[in-house]
Chain A
């Protein structure tokens, strides 16, 4: 089944840079949420934003699809400043996946996935075909198309969320803790499948997580954020070997928790 994704065409545009943050700052209600952030994401690249809650990761995502506008600096999508994009067109060019899918509870899986194509004016048969295609892409049984989100498991909902984001074939995909609510096994499955999908589709992906292992598994490049700043910005392998104190702290937090509570007590007692 041919993918309607045109990887090479996506890469050709704008000498390959899909997203660019040029010294971007953002505040809300007097609080500085982002400070002087600069980064680029090329077409085909997966950038992972790693950091604690409140480090500015979600804010960064919302600046990409125009839900927020920078207070200083410029965000450029496809070479054009986000301020110059028609907000509706911008958002339809950016697929957005959130935790637990954010699916519309009153739509079937089919209507959920087909929503953007429908408002874009695709004809019924084309939408149906696309929905079937996407279900296959994310590893779901076509039979689920007429189910409602509440009838699905968490993992299935997440897959539908990804399918929905891909429906109109946007060049950019942003994911906000998309797999964080899943159980470890499903989560691991989803990471593997997503990685494979991305190898084929070559979209510009920005993935937010606070899980170091997930970051390493999925990223071409990792940006570690802290208090609204990009503290570390390295390709994935270099990041793993970095001796930056914050990176080390992260590694330690994610190292094997072999000590049980009792063992720790006996170790700490004189």
Chain B
């Protein structure tokens, strides 16, 4: 049975696992953005915290993903459902790119523009929401893109602890020593990552060109 034939014969399982995978990566990237963007904003306002916050996110990144999954298993409530655990761990990994890009994006806004805004009597919140964030949005979306692609890749490992997703095919295929099964997991996962990178990259480019001087 050639590969395409195999894919079509098992399409229901493949679709199911793909949707599971999207859910794992999507929810975790969303959480990382909801936490990471405000944190990035905070360290542009309180530079003293930047070492602590970026340092913390850096430390998390250095923990091997499978190890982090393993650490969290005994945790109450979180460890009871593998998908919860996986989403938390993936969100933690997505923090660093989002915090760093938010920080860099806001700092990268033309200082003359920021000063003009401040001199016009914009409050800090108005400055943030009307000037800095829109102008930094391209770089911030780049951070989302990085976190999303990272998440999609790491989510394959999450299957090792029972969180499901396309990684399940990969691990099963390894145990069965069946290339078809492995590819049935690996190929859709790679395609997902490419698609996310492409779509978000497009959005990023549009935002950058749209809102900055040509």
Listed stretches B86-94, B113-121, B174-182; interface member: B113-121
- Distance to closest chain A CB from B209 (angstroms): 10
- Asked if B188 lies at the interface with its beta carbon under 8 angstroms from chain A, I say no
Structural contact, A98 and B120, CB atoms closer than 8 A: no
Structural contact, B123 and A65, CB atoms closer than 8 A: no
Structural contact, A91 and B113, CB atoms closer than 8 A: no
CB neighbours of B113 from chain A (8 A): 102-105
Size category of the A interface is 20 to 34
Structural contact, A105 and B121, CB atoms closer than 8 A: no
CB neighbours of A57 from chain B (8 A): none
Q: What does the 1/0 interface line of B119-158 toward A look like (CB < 8 Å)?
A: 1111100100011001100000000000000000000000
A119 CB contact (under 8 Å) in B115, B116, B122, B211: B122
B120 CB contact (under 8 Å) in A100, A105, A116, A150: A116
Structural contact, B121 and A106, CB atoms closer than 8 A: no
- Distance to closest chain B CB from A149 (angstroms): 7
- Distance to closest chain A CB from B137 (angstroms): 9
Structural contact, B120 and A115, CB atoms closer than 8 A: yes
- Distance to closest chain B CB from A46 (angstroms): 19
- Asked if A92 lies at the interface with its beta carbon under 8 angstroms from chain B, I say yes
* CA of A96 to CA of B135, assembled, Å: 21
* CA of A94 to CA of B118, assembled, Å: 12
- Asked if A88 lies at the interface with its beta carbon under 8 angstroms from chain B, I say yes
- Asked if B46 lies at the interface with its beta carbon under 8 angstroms from chain A, I say no
- Asked if A265 lies at the interface with its beta carbon under 8 angstroms from chain B, I say no
Given A104-B131, A106-B134, A106-B135, A91 and B118 contact (CB-CB distance below 8 Å) = yes
A65 CB contact (under 8 Å) in B119, B131, B212, B213: B119
Closest to A170 in B: B121
- Distance to closest chain B CB from A88 (angstroms): 5
CB neighbours of A116 from chain B (8 A): 120-121
Given A105-B135, A105-B212, A106-B135, A88 and B116 contact (CB-CB distance below 8 Å) = no
CB neighbours of B122 from chain A (8 A): 115, 119
Total of A-B residue pairs, C-beta within 8 Å: 61
* CA of A67 to CA of B118, assembled, Å: 8
Closest to B210 in A: A106
Structural contact, A98 and B112, CB atoms closer than 8 A: yes
- Asked if B214 lies at the interface with its beta carbon under 8 angstroms from chain A, I say yes
Structural contact, A119 and B126, CB atoms closer than 8 A: yes
* CA of A108 to CA of B110, assembled, Å: 17
CB neighbours of A92 from chain B (8 A): 120-121
CB neighbours of B214 from chain A (8 A): 150
CB neighbours of B121 from chain A (8 A): 87-93, 116, 119
Structural contact, B116 and A102, CB atoms closer than 8 A: yes
* CA of A104 to CA of B121, assembled, Å: 14
- Distance to closest chain A CB from B149 (angstroms): 27
CB neighbours of A164 from chain B (8 A): 120
CB neighbours of B135 from chain A (8 A): 104-106
Q: Which residues of chain B in 64-115 are interfacial with respect to chain A, using CB atoms and an 8 Å cutoff?
A: 110, 112-113, 115
Structural contact, B112 and A102, CB atoms closer than 8 A: yes
* CA of A102 to CA of B214, assembled, Å: 15
Q: What are 14 residue pairs bridging A and B, where the CB atoms are less than 8 Å apart in the complex?
A: A88-B123, A89-B121, A90-B121, A91-B120, A93-B121, A98-B115, A100-B112, A102-B113, A102-B115, A104-B117, A106-B212, A115-B120, A116-B120, A150-B214
Binding site for A on B (CB under 8 A): 110, 112-113, 115-123, 126, 130-131, 134-135, 210-214
Top 8 A-B residue pairs of the complex, sorted by shortest distance between their CB atoms: A102-B116, A91-B121, A92-B121, A106-B211, A96-B119, A150-B213, A102-B112, A150-B214
